[in-house]
């Protein structure tokens, strides 16, 4: 698993330091984490940073791990002389999404809490002739359902009492966790997507469907504004177009293109004005 490209653009471009998104990698451990701190939080910027840093340091999430993060958050704050309003804000807690992934051999374990999204794309080799799978050059593999971007997301909180939606000691059993088998990636598809994508043109059992040799798996992680925008292309049957565009961002000649695209889309109201982060990882099988 290696990084292809990453970038973040603040909601308020004149104040980049107010960006509440955070991400971190450790290639030696084959781990990556992305977090989007919620605007309505006392200090979600710090909280998001702690979550990604702690995951990269210790990629074993448990209740104890979350508690350790909450304690670090508390230690980072100056709570002397709070006003009543700050007290109310602090007491509500800080909140953030978390995408945390780790590759071990040919399996990638992924925790995804909140409305950030991880897109899995299979890019087939250009000369492959396996027509049963390769109806297109790029296929989106729906590992997690599309978030409902118009609703308030459930997020990881600095207040333990707000985290009872998930048992952190058994995250593997939760809705928020998936394992992507890089050799048999279609086994990870959501049931609905299996039916929609394959029923009509493929009689082989999907769970046993291998990818053609030299197929690359790309993991594209995005915070909500960017994720919602990417989904517009996928749903308009323009998966190839958006995938190629995102991949082209790594090229030197396209430096600054993502920032310009975000500005334009915000202006055209096709992308929400929000901290916008994109990270592209590539997994060789």
Partner 1 sequence: MPYEAQISRTQPTAFLFLVDQSYSMTDKMSTGRSKADFVADVLNKTITELVAKCSKSEGVRNYFEIGIIGYGHETVDNALQGELSGKVINPISELEKHPVKVEQRKKKMDDGAGGIIELDVKFPIWYEAKANGGTPMRAALTMAAEELVEWCDNNPESYPPTVLHITDGESTDGNPEEIAEKLKLISTNDGEVLVFNLHVSASGDKPISFPAGEMNLTDDYSKMLFRMSSELPPALTSYAQEKGYTVSGESRGFILNAEASDIVDFFDIGTRASQLR
Give the residues lining the site for partner 1 (CB under 8 A).
Answer: 11-12, 15, 36, 38-43, 46, 67, 70-71, 73-74, 77-89, 91-93, 95, 115, 151-155, 157-162, 165, 224, 272-274
Query: Residue 11 and residue 20: Cα distance in Å, rounded?
Result: 9
Nearer to partner 1, 5 or 42 (CB): 42
Nearer to partner 1, 93 or 185 (CB): 93
Q: For residue 163, what are the β-bridge partners?
A: none
Nearer to partner 1, 150 or 203 (CB): 150
Nearer to partner 1, 79 or 200 (CB): 79
**Cα 232-130-245 angle, rounded to 5 deg:** 30
Q: Closest separation between CB of residue 230 and partner 1, Å?
A: 18
Nearer to partner 1, 188 or 276 (CB): 276
Dihedral sign of CA atoms 195, 197, 202, 204 in order: negative
N-terminal to C-terminal alpha carbon distance within the chain: 9
Query: Residue 91 and residue 159: Cα distance in Å, rounded?
Result: 8
List the structure tokens of 131: 């027509």
Q: Closest separation between CB of residue 171 and partner 1, Å?
A: 18
Question: C-alpha distances in angstroms, 144 versus 1, 31, 50, 250?
Answer: 20, 19, 24, 25
């Amino acid at each position: 698993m290696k990084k292809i490209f990453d970038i973040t653009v603040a909601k308020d471009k004149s104040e980049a330091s107010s960006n509440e998104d955070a991400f971190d990698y450790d290639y030696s451990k084959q781990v990556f984490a992305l977090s989007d701190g919620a605007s309505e939080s006392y200090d979600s910027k710090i909280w998001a940073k702690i979550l990604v840093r702690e995951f990269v340091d210790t990629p074993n999430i448990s209740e104890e791990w979350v508690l350790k993060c909450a304690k670090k958050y508390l230690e980072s704050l100056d709570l002397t002389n709070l006003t009543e309003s700050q007290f109310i804000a602090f007491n509500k807690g800080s909140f953030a999404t978390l995408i945390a992934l780790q590759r071990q051999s040919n399996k990638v374990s992924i925790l995804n809490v909140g409305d950030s999204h991880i897109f899995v794309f299979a890019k087939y080799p250009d000369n492959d002739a396996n027509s049963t799978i390769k109806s297109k050059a790029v296929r989106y593999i729906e590992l997690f359902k599309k978030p409902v971007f118009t609703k308030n997301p459930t997020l990881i909180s600095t207040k333990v009492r707000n985290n009872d939606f998930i048992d952190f000691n058994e995250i593997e059993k939760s809705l928020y966790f998936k394992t992507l088998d890089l050799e048999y990636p279609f086994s990870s598809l959501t049931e609905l997507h299996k039916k929609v994508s394959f029923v009509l043109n493929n009689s082989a059992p999907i769970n046993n469907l291998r990818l053609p040799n030299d197929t690359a798996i790309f993991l594209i992680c995005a915070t909500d504004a960017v994720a919602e925008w990417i989904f517009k292309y996928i749903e308009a049957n323009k998966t190839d177009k958006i995938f190629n565009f995102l991949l082209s961002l790594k090229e030197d000649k396209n430096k600054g293109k993502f920032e310009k695209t975000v500005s334009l889309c915000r202006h055209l109201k096709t992308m929400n004005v929000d901290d916008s982060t994109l990270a592209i990882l590539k997994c060789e099988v």
